[in-house]
A and B are shown apart, each in its own frame.
Chain A
Amino acid sequence: MTMIRRFLKLMGAGGQASSRKAKGGAVDRHAPLSTSLERNLADLKRIFTEAPDLVIRTFPYKQTGRRAALAYLNGLSDKNSINNNILHELMQVDEEEGTPGILPVSIGKVETCTSWTQLEYAVLNGQSLLLIDGADRVFALATQGWPQRAIADSQIEASLKGAHQAFVETSESNIALIRRLLGTSELKIKEMIVGNRVPCKVSIMYMEDLTEPEFISTMSQRIAKLDTDCILNTGELAEMLEDQPFSLLPQLITTERPDTAASQILQGRICVVVDRSSSVLIAPVNFVAFFHGIDDYSTRWPIASFMRLLRFFACFVAIFLPGIYIACISFNYEVIPLDLILSIGQFRAAVPFPPFIEALIMEITLEMLREAGVRLPAPVAQTVGIVGGIVIGQAAVQAGIVSNLMVVVVASTAVASFIIPNYDMAAAIRLMRFPIMIMASLFGIIGIISCFMVLLARLISLRSLGESYGVPIAPLRIRDWKDVFLRLPLWTMVKRPSSVRSLQKRRMGSSEHGGEEG
């Protein structure tokens, strides 16, 4: 690991982001603002050269009679509120009407900026700048209004009975969606800025009276340490925050669902909302959490438990089935029932490739089909699915490229991998079966077992935000098993999972017990 890291550093990737070059001529961004409107506007124009979408409107400020200017980026700002609530008020309100010293605008949030850095950030964030001749400060008015998508159902994490609101690309809306679900003042938000070139607002959300403070400090330390150009996506952030970035398994959950995020926060975890991204990060998480869906809690518990067991079984199938097929055909055919072995023998006799190559052909074809389906528009993707299904299912067998049973194996593997609710985990599991197929073709069942042991060891040794990934299986927390492989009735889960180390253990009956239990 260390070797690869050093290598990356040499290549200049993992190390320092390229140092910032001064842009826009000689404007010193840390210098104080001038009191002259002309000079300030000139500086502003020098910062935003080649920016036709920057609108600067100069007008007489009626309250004081001085000249003033309003600057905003066209498209990022809401023109209605600029016209009606700012320009109209400023140009119309007379000296007698307005209170001296108070800005006569009907806008909720007004910040004062004293440096060019703040100004630049404010403009790029959709705020409007009000520059007044003779003043040494500039007002940034909250007029954000960029193109935004409506709140809709999540595509990737669809749910049958859960809420049908998913996060959008604005952190304010996303925070609001979580706040709607967790309407308590204990829900705290810690804001941080990531990105040297393009700053991005990152908000850490947690319950102050529940969440272990160590999580918050670790997370904010890690975020503060980030030294990167820009973060466009939660996935990028997750990759930089992970404990073991070289591991195949995801160590943080990214979700698009406010209800999932809220339920995790309620258990004592923290949630990181990244501006401009439609998913949020949950940390710390354990392996089994990737197999839980929000529907588990809205369906009745026997059904939810069955679904969970099905998912874990599917995980096993998706990882090991092709490997087991190869091992059984190449080494340990004694374990196959006789009648099956005779029919397999007939199918296999028509196939010219060894089982490993046969499996590889099918698996790669399947992966290609899947990827093709994702990229294409829905109607075309359907066609690809049908063509692929016919080509794989029938033609390949008839042409003698693969055997019938291989098609069954690959198809059930594919279905199994789609059952896993978390996309990142499903993708990791899909990738994992290739090394297992190689080991199975070299060493048979022994190879599979050794892979299994390596996998288990890895699961146990992994960490997520410094917490162990294998919990509650290893280290063992029997009490938490109510909500691991099974989902027992909610009234049995009186306490929060101990593996999250929440400050208040009890989540039910707290009125009798005073809510505190150490």
Chain B
Amino acid sequence: MRRALSLLLAAALLTTISGCRDRVDLENVTLMLMMGLDLDENNKLVIYASSPVFSKEAKEKNEVTQVNAETLRDSRGKLEARVSALISTGKLQNILVGKKLLQHPGWIKLLDLFYRDSKTRINARLIAVDGPVGEIMYFAPANKRRLSLHIAKLVDTANERNLVEKATLFEFNRQLLERGKMPIITGLRKTKREVVADESILLDNSGMYVGSLDLEENEILQILQDDQISDLSLTFLLPEQGANKDKALNLGALSCYVVDVKRKVRTGYSDGRFRFDLDFRLPIRLTERLFSFDVQKDTAQLEKQIDKQLQAQMKAVVDKLQKHAVDPIGLGLFARAYRYRDWKKVQDQWGEAFKNADIRIRVRTEIIDMGEIR
């Protein structure tokens, strides 16, 4: 009897409590979909927030606000004083970081909030912006959907085609902490009419900006990393077929899909330098050939011409990376795996060691398909 009474009392009390404190109805949330971090003219931190507006009465479907703040958390109160409801980062899609901020030492410490707060979406894309971040944040092209979602889709699909690298907050943290591999993130820029994702930004292990790779270079990097996501399409100008960069129409061009990347890495160490032998075997599928050639008969000849071009391009990319002393390929992982003692000595200056390393590349392509016509 007493037990039942106390149970009843407990049940009655249950109805009076307000529930969990973190209860926020969806309509009381300002879902921050895109966040911008940049330095203004006075070298002060600016935080931008872009979030959707649900109300039918609002003319624009997106609200963008900017505040000056010391840290990200500090910005929240200031943002909430401006936007329509309570700010939430639970569905954060993109974090745009200005190039100016990327060149400022210690900027990555700002990201601490995202990693510490369990409610933040750890899969938000980290994107570098060439130029002022505000321009993109306030940009509202009429022929695109909400820019925050457009950028998210743009980066995802460009990454799927191996055109740019993509790093989520989670992935970025991993790359940052990994000594044998340097972070590389998506680069975005704004033209007059649209937003373009055609760069990958090279960062060193402290997150500082060191350089950038364009579309073609990134494709080559994907091969070097053995990390191609889907069909990787390359176009070559073969000088043997009369290609010449200055012509309006280049009939010596050839395009192909790289179906698969078979990479073999041999690691060596001599005279205080690392040496990496990278052997690639690439089955390719011809998708475009503007010159006439009997592929069935002279396969080896064409393969050789392609190899030569590809090898030169790869060499150029590696040279560029070595020049910048950053290793997004992850050769440090091989050094650690196969030459641990030597690695141990240079592990904290892997960038320098990579710069001095002797990297040799050999490429052998193999045409496995030439398309429907001869």
Contacts and interface: CB of A to CB of B under 8 A. Distances in A.
A387 interface: no
Interface string B7-20: 00000001101111
Contacts of B31: 341, 345
A331 B23 contact: yes
B119 A1 contact: no
Nearest to A326: B25
Given A330-B25, A334-B119, A355-B25, A349 B54 contact: yes
B52 interface: yes
A473 interface: no
B91 interface: yes
A348 B25 CA distance: 10
Interface string B26-70: 110101010000000000000000001011100000000000000
Interface string A212-238: 000000000000000000000000000
A240 interface: no
Given A341-B26, A341-B31, A349-B27, A333 B54 contact: no
B91 A341 contact: yes
A132 interface: no
Interface stretch (A24-32, A94-102, A169-177, A438-446): A438-446
A333 B90 contact: yes
Secondary structure of the B contact surface, majority rule? loop
Contacts, number: 69
A453 to B, nearest CB: 16
B118 to A, nearest CB: 10
B316 to A, nearest CB: 39
Given A333-B26, A334-B91, A354-B25, A345 B52 contact: yes
A330 B29 contact: no
B26 A348 contact: yes
Interface string A315-356: 000000000000001110110001101101110111100110
Contact of A342 (B4, B5, B18, B52): B52
A185 B90 CA distance: 70
A133 B56 CA distance: 94
A145 to B, nearest CB: 52
A345 B27 contact: yes
Interface stretch (A2-10, A264-272, A508-516): A2-10
B22 interface: yes
Find the residue from A4, A338, A354, A441 having the highest chain B CB count within 10 A.
A338
Contact of A6 (B1, B18, B19, B26): B1
Contact of A338 (B14, B19, B54, B149): B149
Contact of B4 (A4, A339, A349, A354): A4
B75 interface: no
Contacts of B5: 3
Interface string A432-458: 000000100111101000000000000
B23 to A, nearest CB: 6
B93 interface: yes
Contacts of B55: 349
B1 A348 contact: no
B142 interface: no
A444 B20 contact: yes
Interface of A: 1-4, 6, 329-331, 333-334, 338-339, 341-342, 344-346, 348-351, 354-355, 438, 441-444, 446
By Cβ-Cβ distance, the 3 closest A-B pairs, closest first, are A442-B19, A349-B54, A3-B4
28 contacts: A1-B4, A2-B1, A3-B4, A4-B4, A329-B25, A330-B23, A330-B24, A331-B22, A331-B24, A333-B91, A338-B33, A339-B149, A341-B31, A341-B91, A345-B27, A345-B31, A345-B52, A348-B26, A348-B54, A349-B56, A355-B26, A438-B15, A442-B14, A442-B17, A442-B18, A443-B19, A444-B20, A446-B20
Interface of B: 1, 4-5, 14-15, 17-20, 22-27, 29, 31, 33, 52, 54-56, 90-91, 93, 119, 121, 149
